[in-house]
Amino acid sequence: MDLYFSLLLQIIYGVANLALISLGLAIVFGMMRVINLAHGEFLMLGGYTVVVATNNGINIWFSILILAPLVVGLIGLIVERCLIQWLYGRMIDTLLATWGLSLLFIGIITSIFGASTSTVISPPLGTITIGDYTSSGYELFLIFVVIVLLLFVFLTLKFTALGLVARATMQNSDMASCLGISTSKIYMITFSLGAAVSGLAGGLLAPLTGVLPNIGAIYIGKAFITVISGGSAILAGTTSASILLGSVNGVMSYVTGPTFGEVALLFTAIILLRLMPTGITGRFFRKSQ
């Protein structure tokens, strides 16, 4: 019984982890149909913000929850103004330019901090025990944060003026700009918000994984697959795809060891996309956000 409970908790954590690393990407993709290939590097920058801040004596909670999203959000703002805004409507060029950006970020961080990390911050919060099994308290905290984050995005989209305008732009950007909405400004805000969420995710994961200049590569494969399988609806897509793929990954990792977990995840996603080329939300929950 304890085994199953612990396994369930692991799977829920896997789902939450997947949702966390994909949400920033999903926000940008859902709003702007732009796949940001530098997404992994935004996560990495969030991690580095936390490491640098805590090394300089700043409280770890403050640096994870406030500083990381703030710094990466600002970087996102700069990137959008300097690079992405010139490439709207040129999807492939956007992909390529953000890929170049990702290499640039890796290069810059490697030149500043070196290719390996010298400090590892230990995850705060201790462990909790369930029967014979122990689980990390920080992982539970992550699950909690993901739920709060999803709720926050939902409430913002549904009940604020910005959310209304954003949804209008998402549905039909031409119509929205005819009605006097500055879509360029909306895109700018969305991109920085997406970056900020990625920064938060990177900051949250830094104590678990440590930071490296090329750590983004670990996340982006899974994040892309989740977002594409989810389809264009930001919340429903990310949540449904994370639940499906996270469970597959969790179960397969438990059965075969970690080696085939990701392969099973990818395989499921490819079969899923063969059946529903526009993702889960292209087929179901079409009215959702």
Partner 1 sequence: MMRLYGSFRGTLVVASIAVLFTLLAPSIFQFFTIITLTQVIGLSILALSLALVWGFGGVLCFGQSAFFGIGAYAYSVAAVNIGGSTGAILIAMLAAATFATLLGYFVFYGKLSDVYLAVITLTVSLILYSLMRRTSGPEYKIGSALLGGFNGTGSPPLNVPGNSEAMLFPLQTFYVSMGALILAYVFAGWLVTTKFGRVCVSIRENELRTSLLGYDTRLYKLGIFAVSAGIAGLGGVFFCVGVTRVTPDVFSLGQSALAIIWVIVGGRGTLIGPILATFVLYFLTASLGSQQLMNTNLVLGGILVIFVLLVPSGVIPSIAKWFDLRRVKKFSKLKERRLKMRKHRSVG
Minimum separation from the CB atom of position 156 to partner 1 (A)? 26
Q: Given the complex with partner 1, which of 94 and 240 has the nearer CB atom?
A: 94
Minimum separation from the CB atom of position 65 to partner 1 (A)? 29
Contact 135, 9 (CB under 8 A): yes
Minimum separation from the CB atom of position 28 to partner 1 (A)? 13
Residues that bind partner 1 (CB under 8 A): 33, 35, 83, 86-87, 91-93, 95-97, 99-108, 110-111, 214, 217-218, 220-221, 224-225, 228, 258-260, 262-263, 265-266, 269-271, 273-275, 277
φ and ψ of 160, to 5 deg: -110, 165
Q: Given the complex with partner 1, which of 157 and 245 has the nearer CB atom?
A: 245
Q: Given the complex with partner 1, which of 69 and 219 has the nearer CB atom?
A: 219
Which of 11, 49, 4, 39 is closest to 197 using CA atoms?
Answer: 39
Q: How far apart are the first and last CA of the chain?
A: 37
Minimum separation from the CB atom of position 3 to partner 1 (A)? 24
Minimum separation from the CB atom of position 259 to partner 1 (A)? 5
Q: Given the complex with partner 1, which of 42 and 224 has the nearer CB atom?
A: 224
Task: List, in order, residues 6 or more apart from 11 with CB less than 8 Å away.
Answer: 246, 247, 250, 251
